[in-house]
Amino acid sequence: MKLTLKIWRQENAAAKGGIQSYPIDGIEGDMSFLEMLDVLNEQLISKGDDPVVFDHDCREGICGSCSLQINGEPHGPDRLITTCQLHMRMFKDGDTITIEPFRAAAFPVIKDLMVDRTAFDRIQQAGGYISVNTSGNTIDANAIPVNKEDADESFNAATCIGCGACVAACKNASAMLFTAAKVSQFALLPQGKVEAATRVLNMVEQMDKEGFGNCTNTGACEVECPKGISLENIARMNREYLSASLKG
Partner 1 sequence: MTSSSIARKFAMALSGLFLVLFLGQHFTINLTSVIAPDTFNNWSHFMGTNFLVQAVLQPVLIFGVVFHFIMGFILELQNRRARNVGYASYKGSANASWASRNMIISGLVILAFLVLHFIDFWIPELNIKYLQGDMSGLLESGGGYRYHEELVHKFESHLRVIAYVIAFVLLAIHLWHGFASSFQSVGFNNKYSKGLTSFAKVYAIVIPVGFIFIALYHHINHLIH
Partner 2 sequence: MSRLDSKIPEGPLAEKWTKHKNSIDLVNPANKRNIDVIVVGTGLAGGSAAATLAELGYNVKTFCYQDSPRRAHSIAAQGGINAAKNYQGDGDSTYRLFYDTVKGGDYRSREANVYRLAEVSGNIIDQCVAQGVPFAREYGGLLDNRSFGGVLVSRTFYAKGQTGQQLLLGAYAAMNRQINRGKIKPFNRHEMLDVVLVDGKARGIIARDLVTGEIERHAAHAVVLATGGYGNVFFLSTNAMGSNVTAAWKAHRRGAFFANPCFTQIHPTCIPVSGEHQSKLTLMSESLRNDGRIWVPKKIEDARAIREGKKKPTQLSEEERDYYLERRYPAFGNLVPRDVASRAAKERCDAGFGVNKTGEAVYLDFEAAIMRYGREKALTEHIQDPSEELIREFGEKVIENKYGNLFQMYEKIVDQNPYKTPMMIYPAVHYTMGGLWVDYNLQTTIEGCYATGEANYSDHGANRLGASALMQGLADGYFVLPYTIGDYLSNDIRTGPISTNTPEFEEAEKNVTHRIEKLMSGSGKHSVDHYHKKLGKIMWNKCGMSRNAQGLSEAIEEIAQLRKDFWANVKVPGTSKGVNQELEKAGRVSDFLELGELFAKDALQRAESCGGHFREESVEQSGEQKGEALRDDENFKYVSAWEYKGEPKDAALHKEDLVFKNIELKTRSYK
User: Buried (b) or exposed (e) across 127-140, using 16+ Cβ within 10 A?
Assistant: bbeeeeeeeeeeee
Give the whole-angstrom CA distance, residue 218 versus residue 224.
Answer: 12
**What residue type is assigned to position 214 of the chain?**
N
Q: By CB under 8 A, what part of segment 136-175 binds partner 1? A: 169, 171-174
Q: Min. distance of Cβ 38 from partner 1 in angstroms? A: 22
Return the residue of 16, 93, 133, 247 that touches partner 2, per CB under 8 A: 133
DSSP 102: -
Question: Per rule CB under 8 A, is residue 155 in the interface with partner 2?
Answer: yes
Question: Per rule CB under 8 A, is residue 12 in the interface with partner 1?
Answer: no
Question: Per rule CB under 8 A, is residue 218 in the interface with partner 1?
Answer: yes
Give the whole-angstrom CA distance, residue 242 versus residue 161.
Answer: 26
Stretch that binds partner 1, among 25-33, 37-45, 145-153, 200-208 (CB under 8 A): 200-208
CB nearer to partner 1: pick between 162 and 213: 213
Q: By CB under 8 A, what part of segment 90-119 binds partner 2? A: 110-111, 114, 116-118
Size of the site for partner 2 (CB under 8 A): 81
CB nearer to partner 2: pick between 53 and 172: 53
Start-end of H helices in 50-209 = 118-125, 148-158, 165-169, 176-187, 190-193, 196-209
Residue 64's CB is within 10 A of a number of other CB atoms, namely 20
